[in-house]
Structure 1
Amino acid sequence: MTTPRPATNPIRSEIDLDAQGKHTGYLRLPHSVHRSAYGWIPLPVASIRNGDGLVVLVMAGNHGDEYEGQIIVSQLIREIDVQHVSGQLILLPMANFPAAAAGTRTSPLDEGNLNRSFPGDSAGTPTQVIADYIENTLLARADYLVDLHSGGSSLLYDGANMLAIEPRDAEEAVRVKALLSAFGLPKAFLHPLNPVTGSAAARRQGAISIVTELGGAGMSNAKLIRDGRDGLLHFLGFVGVLHGSIVPAQPPAQTRFMRVEGPHHYVYAYDEGVVEPLVELGERVVKGQAAARIHFPDTPLREPVTLYFDGDGEVACRRVQASVRRGDCVFHLAEDDPRYR
């Protein structure tokens, strides 16, 4: 946790984040447009604070077409009372509200992808302003970030997964493993740092981040909602922010630790057409194995193009839509991490 910097961001909170008790309201982002000259964008927020202690920022709706997290955070705002908390929970169910309200990955106001907009800009576009506020106001208070994602409209993950940035040293590796095990989703992927994500923003502010990937395909899945909620509640109990009967006795599963290393764990389309997948989610594949074929119904005599895996691993995620263009991700893989066996 760092000391929040003086406010330069135009977002103003309706609730006092320093106040004890349970409070809900909106973060107001000024937005002057034709239909509303003195208007503001309402970013829903809740604070549940009971004494001093650790601060956890829990957010969903970072991408607006990912729904399990929005449901989970909304549930927790209703279910968690002050007496359950030691320290503070700050909860954002629709972090990029314009995107979440539209049901799109990016904001319809500026095409901004919030999870590619950090550290943001207090004088920038709406998405950049939101990113700046999350990093420099909310995460500056926080010890932990839990960012609830799913695959969105274009991707489908194999069940319930977690992601964390590669630890910087052995001591941090032990801590991260314990935190992920306490969350307890079936698989956890460790991945390289991407400086424009919320996870990197958390690291810059001295917080540890856990990201979920709960299914996807623009749907909401009852089991994944249940597992994500129970895992989050158990995690909050493990770090000491939550206590009482609301904390499950056990996490949802024993976590299998994996890693996503780089370009060889991804398969991309290089042609525009219709993709025929040749493997299934969860399937084990090897380098050189055929991954998919791209067909060209507009030129039916043209032979399909075959895509191949460039590395070994397990199919963790696949594209939802059959139509593809050059640059679309068709599959991504993950590999067991020998450091955590």
Structure 2
Amino acid sequence: MSTSVTSSTKIDNGSIKSPVWTTIKFDVPGIQTDFARVPYSSNTSAYGWIPVPMVCLNGDKGGPTALLTAGTHGDEYEGQVALRKLIHELAKTELQGRVIILPALNQPAVKVGRRNSPIDGGNLNRLFPGSLSDGPTAAIAHYVTSELFSLADLVIDLHSGGTSLDYLPMTLAHPGRNESEAGAIRRLLQCFGAPYSAVTNGSGGGGGSTLYAAAEQRGIAAITTELGSGSTLSETGLSIAESGIRHVLRDFGIAPAIEVSAKPTTRFVRFLERNGTIYAPCDGLFESFVKPGQRVLVGEKAGLIHRFDDVLAAPTELKFAEAGIVAFRRFPTLTATGDALFGLVTEVAE
């Protein structure tokens, strides 16, 4: 790891310096690796810090900066693997801009394969723009918001369905605060080229507390992804992540010579909000009748829940209240009241 001079810190609320620090000097050309060091006093380490791996590749040619993150949720692997592979490729590629990569943003959660941090229970993608008084996970969010966003021209935060969801491969973005920002976000979605793209207000998953929502509020073109399902590695999702990042880095002039596949296209959709989501009405064993990508009609049977509390009772039947395309379904069979079982999207005119 690099041992260069510590980078400058930012000011929180005009007076409090962020305690998170790194030895990376972001303006120095070449490759530097270190950690975002998140101070954490534990029972076994009074003055310790949590290591969040970070790499900066700087072509020093005045081009734009891409901030690429994965492992925001520790049980989502496609982005983590894609970024780790990308680091080795970019190390041999001439860059016209700068790429900052954090492949395990919530490192404690990544190490145990969980959505939330085992240290403080923090769901990193529900804690933006972050805080210095709500534990180490919120401090990671604060560091990204206060330090790294100021360096970035575009942001890609790679997610997948993780342990609980089977997801249609797609990108998501907030709409932007004005016409110019909306155009930049749309360009980023088209460059990445996932099979589906949705512009959303985030009401179904985090609202304004996600990484890409926080980036939007600072005028940065930002997207997130959903690229797999279950606590495993999807070959399809990994391929989409790798292809999408390559196209973005080439088309935005950061790595103009990087090898890319044929130009992908994306289909724009929108989520059908609450009427398009089916939640478990009871505890039990979930049986699905449909898959992500399947078109469904109003009243069509979605599945069953076999109740725990009465084995003689007929299973609880689930039906769609809207017509659309299945964007996600619950991955585990075991389910509890309130679990999201299905979500729908519908195509929109481009």
Structure 2: segments with no counterpart, 5+ residues = 1-8
Q: Answer yes or no: is 1:13 the counterpart of 2:22.
A: yes
How far has the Cα of 1:275 moved from its partner? Answer: 1.2
Q: Answer yes or no: is 1:108 the counterpart of 2:108.
A: no
How far has the Cα of 1:224 moved from its partner? Answer: 2.2
In the alignment, what sits opposite 2:4? none
TM-score under structure 2 length normalisation: 0.90
Give yes or no for contact 1:191–1:261 (8 Å, CA) kept in 2. Answer: no
In the alignment, what sits opposite 1:156? 166
Give yes or no for contact 1:98–1:108 (8 Å, CA) kept in 2. Answer: yes
One-letter code aligned to 2:184: R
How far has the Cα of 1:203 moved from its partner? Answer: 1.1
Give yes or no for contact 1:50–1:82 (8 Å, CA) kept in 2. Answer: no
One-letter code aligned to 2:170: N
Pairwise mapping of residues 11-90 of structure 1 onto structure 2 (< 5 A)? 11-51=20-60, 52-81=62-91, 84-90=94-100
Name which of 228, 234, 251 aligns with 1:215. 228
How far has the Cα of 1:13 moved from its partner? Answer: 0.6
How far has the Cα of 1:215 moved from its partner? Answer: 1.1
Once the two structures are superposed, what CA deviation does each residue of 1:25-69 show, in whole Å capped at 9, x if it has no partner?
A: 111111121222221110000001122231110000000000010
In the alignment, what sits opposite 1:119? 129
Give yes or no for contact 2:184–2:221 (8 Å, CA) kept in 1. Answer: no
CA RMSD of aligned residues (A): 1.9
Give yes or no for contact 1:49–1:82 (8 Å, CA) kept in 2. Answer: no
Matches of 2:180 and 2:272, distance apart in 1: 21
Matches of 2:282 and 2:294, distance apart in 1: 24
Give yes or no for contact 1:50–1:83 (8 Å, CA) kept in 2. Answer: no
In the alignment, what sits opposite 1:292? 303
How far has the Cα of 1:83 moved from its partner? Answer: 5.0
How far has the Cα of 1:222 moved from its partner? Answer: 2.2
Q: 1:247 to 1:205 in 2, by over 3 A?
A: farther
Once the two structures are superposed, what CA deviation does each residue of 1:83-140 show, in whole Å capped at 9, x if it has no partner?
A: 5212211100000111111100000011111110011102321111001001111112
In the alignment, what sits opposite 1:255? 266
How far has the Cα of 1:143 moved from its partner? Answer: 1.2
Matches of 2:23 and 2:233, distance apart in 1: 30
TM-score under structure 1 length normalisation: 0.93
Name which of 310, 313, 322 aligns with 1:311. 322
1:25 counterpart SS class: strand
Give yes or no for contact 1:122–1:133 (8 Å, CA) kept in 2. Answer: no
Matches of 1:78 and 1:125, distance apart in 2: 33
Structure 1 stretch 303-312 or stretch 70-79: which is displaced more?
A: 303-312
Once the two structures are superposed, what CA deviation does each residue of 1:225-278 show, in whole Å capped at 9, x if it has no partner?
A: 12210111111111111121x231533x32111111411221100200111112
In the alignment, what sits opposite 2:292? 281
How far has the Cα of 1:173 moved from its partner? Answer: 4.1
How far has the Cα of 1:308 moved from its partner? Answer: 2.1
Give yes or no for contact 1:9–1:123 (8 Å, CA) kept in 2. Answer: no
2:208 counterpart SS class: coil
How far has the Cα of 1:171 moved from its partner? Answer: 4.5
In the alignment, what sits opposite 2:283? 272
Once the two structures are superposed, what CA deviation does each residue of 1:127-176 show, in whole Å capped at 9, x if it has no partner?
A: 11001001111112211110000000010113x31111134455444433
Matches of 2:46 and 2:274, distance apart in 1: 46
One-letter code aligned to 1:62: T
